[in-house]
Amino acid sequence: MMNLLLGYQPLLDLFLLHLGLAYAQWLVLRAGVFSLGTVGLAAVGAYTGGILVVTYGLPAPLALIASALSGGLVALALSVPLARLRGIYQAIATVAFIQIVLSLNIYATNVTGGAQGITGIPKTVGTPLLLLAGAATIYLMYAITHSRLGRAFDAIRQNEAVAASLGVSIVRHQTLAFVLSGALAGVYGALEAFHSYALVPSQFGFPYLIAILSYVVFGGRTSLWGPIVGTAVLILLPEVVRPLADARMLVFGILLILTINFLPKGIADTLIERARGRRLGARRPAEADTAKGS
């Protein structure tokens, strides 16, 4: 039994690391910010952590705090132009941000190690710490969801004009969501660096972005369960069905198309809505639908 569990430990670690980034992506989408830049912010955090630990010999916990700060600060700076843009333009701008981070990391060889990246990062993060981080993240998201803040995010996502007329400041809330998401991405970027000995710039590129987005879209973009379900299913799927492991990209691609077309709310959100609808009788789900659809 123990052996079996140990065999799956790398998978559990992977799940926890990706879950954190999935929540970072989920948080911005929930506040109606159309950002795809989570991976770039994770890169900022990972490099901050890696450089501080390897080059300057800082202890890992301090470096982790610095990573959170750097992710949050970069997100704060990025939120200024983003606040002036609309939907698709935000998506394009954040994809450009990922490219800028990527090419700067490759260019600044004497700081970031260039294309070779940073090696020899002491491994200070194991499964227990990741479990703790996962629990803390879920609690934090739970707390946000069930506070005034979460309701404000929901209102903005569903209808900006209505939210503004209710006295919810859109710019302030979206900036807050983006900065929180940036700090979270920074922390998980650094956790990834401290977990795997080495960092390379291409690690935080387009494929990673697609993976993170798939988790959130597949699981669900509004409920707390979305990222958990999405990340768990999509990470387990290639492991359970071995022949699929080679065709990971193909499976992700087809799943993305099918999910967004036929289950646009994602698995978890759809199931939760159904359960709620059954509990409240036949009249309510129709209302819930109109409220949810934005």
Partner 1 sequence: MLLQQLLNGVVVGGVYALFAVGFNLVFGVQRLLNLAHGAVFMTGAFVAYYTVRAGGPLILGFVAAAVASGVLAMIIEVVCFRRLRKSGDAEFGAIISSMGAGMVIMTFWQWVSQTQVLRFPFDTVPVVIYRFWGLRVSLLQLMMAAAAIAIVLVMAWFIYRTAFGRQVRAVTDSERASMLVGINPNRIYNLTYFISGALAGAAGVLVGLAFNNINFTMGEPYLMFGFAIIILGGLGSIPGALMASLIFGMVQTLSIAYLPSGLTTAFIFSAMFLILLVRPNGLMGREEAGSLRGRR
CB nearer to partner 1: pick between 8 and 89: 89
Q: Which residue has the tokens 């359960």?
A: 275
Tokens of 16: 């926890």
Q: Is 122 in the site for partner 1 (CB under 8 A)?
A: no
Figure out which of the listed residues 1, 88, 240, 282 binds partner 1, where binding follows CB under 8 A. Answer: 88
277 CB-contact burial (10 Å; exposed 0-12 / middle 13-18 / buried 19+) = middle
CB nearer to partner 1: pick between 106 and 140: 106
Pattern of binders to partner 1 over 151-190, x per CB under 8 A? Answer: ---------xx--x-----xx-------------------
Tokens of 93: 């701008």
218-255 b/e with 16+ CB inside 10 Å = b?
bbbbbbbbbbbbbbebbbebbeeeeeeeeeeeebbeeb
Figure out which of the listed residues 85, 129, 198, 232 binds partner 1, where binding follows CB under 8 A. Answer: 85
**Helices 267-280, 225-240: inter-axial angle, 10-degree rounding:** 130
Q: Is 243 in the site for partner 1 (CB under 8 A)?
A: no
Pattern of binders to partner 1 over 193-212, x per CB under 8 A? Answer: -------------x---x--
CB nearer to partner 1: pick between 3 and 261: 261
Residue type for 294, please? S
3-state secondary structure of 92: helix
118 φ/ψ angles, rounded to the nearest 5 degrees: -110, 130
Figure out which of the listed residues 250, 275, 286, 291 binds partner 1, where binding follows CB under 8 A. Answer: 250
Tokens of 242: 């071995």
**By CB under 8 A, how many residues form the interface with partner 1?**
48
Figure out which of the listed residues 15, 26, 47, 97 binds partner 1, where binding follows CB under 8 A. Answer: 97
Q: Is 261 in the site for partner 1 (CB under 8 A)?
A: yes
Q: Is 76 in the site for partner 1 (CB under 8 A)?
A: no
**Cα–Cα distance, 209 to 191 (Å, whole number):** 17
**Cα–Cα distance, 120 to 198 (Å, whole number):** 6
Figure out which of the listed residues 247, 286, 288, 291 binds partner 1, where binding follows CB under 8 A. Answer: 247
Minimum distance between the CB of residue 227 and partner 1, rounded to whole angstroms?
Answer: 15
**Cα–Cα distance, 116 to 232 (Å, whole number):** 31
- Give me the residues that bind partner 1 (CB under 8 A), please: 34, 36, 81, 83-89, 91-93, 95-97, 99-100, 102-104, 106-107, 160-161, 164, 170-171, 206, 210, 213, 217, 247, 249-250, 252-257, 259-262, 264, 293-294
